[in-house]
Amino acid sequence: MSVIQTRRARLGREARDEMTRSVHTVDQENVNATLTVAAPAARVFAVLADPTTHASIDGTGWVQEAVDQAPLTEVGQIFRMDMHHAKHPDGDYKTANNSLHHLAELVSDR
């Protein structure tokens, strides 16, 4: 089954851009997704590199806030997020181990 959703999403205070997301049901552990954002690459990069913006762009509602608040500026940096999921044994948790967000390449304008 495939569901196509279009929604308005805020990228910072000044910009609202149209985003289209395609979600596919799969029976495997790894899932890939593609998201097209009508915004300059540098602006998208700025939002993604700033952990404090991730709760506002998270479509699941699980991301609560950034544990590590400094923006990513170099390859190899890691940031952690406070998370909440009703089906998690404790409800609240932090991303850890393989759920950490790793910056593999730093190219802000593409």
pLDDT above 60: residue 9: no
- Scanning the chain, the segments in alpha helix (DSSP H) are 41-49, 54-57
d(CA 8, CA 33): 18
Does a structural domain hold residue 108?
no
Does a structural domain hold residue 107?
no
Q: How high is the mean pLDDT of the chain? A: 65
DSSP state letters, 19-32: EEEEEE--SSS---
Q: Report which residue type is found at 23.
A: V
Across 6-10, 31-35, 80-84, the highest mean pLDDT is recorded for 80-84
* Residue 29 structural domain: 2-102
Q: DSSP 3-state assignment of 97?
A: helix
| pTM for this entry | 0.52
Does a structural domain hold residue 109?
no
The domain total for the chain is: 1
Does a structural domain hold residue 110?
no
